[in-house]
Homo-oligomer: A and B are copies of this chain.
């Protein structure tokens, strides 16, 4: 991955932009999280998805605890340069509930996503 970013990302007042992680193979939308300039730089340097946790107020590497890392094949930017799209190869599942995708249910409450691991065996 070329580390020179030609597109100047607009991190706005919050200093964060939302990033959508999408399975590079089958197109499944896996999760949305927030990214700081440092998280983006680390993602591009390492090829592994990094985000910024607003609740813990810290940079985190996806899968550092669970092993469910995301190898980033490509980073895309939207027209306004204030949202990112990470095209990833997801190890295991993206969701802490054990589902492949965080978007595993409809707004009516129906579960439509696949469960791929038991969170009790992954997170202590």
Contact = CB atoms under 8 A, between A and B. Distances in A.
Interface of A: 2, 4-7, 9, 18, 20, 22, 26-29, 31-32, 40, 44, 74-80, 83-85, 95-97, 99, 102-110, 112
A79 B99 contact: yes
When all copies of this chain in the complex are counted, the total is 2
Given A7-B108, A84-B107, 11 more contacts: A7-B105, A7-B106, A7-B109, A18-B18, A22-B27, A75-B107, A76-B104, A76-B106, A76-B107, A79-B95, A79-B97
Contacts of A31: 78
A71 to B, nearest CB: 16
8 contacts: A18-B32, A22-B29, A32-B78, A40-B107, A74-B106, A76-B107, A79-B95, A79-B102
A76 B9 contact: no
Nearest to A3: B108
A113 B2 CA distance: 19
Nearest to A23: B27
A107 B29 contact: no
Question: 9 closest Cβ contacts across the A-B interface?
Answer: A27-B27, A6-B109, A78-B102, A76-B103, A75-B107, A85-B103, A32-B83, A79-B102, A5-B107
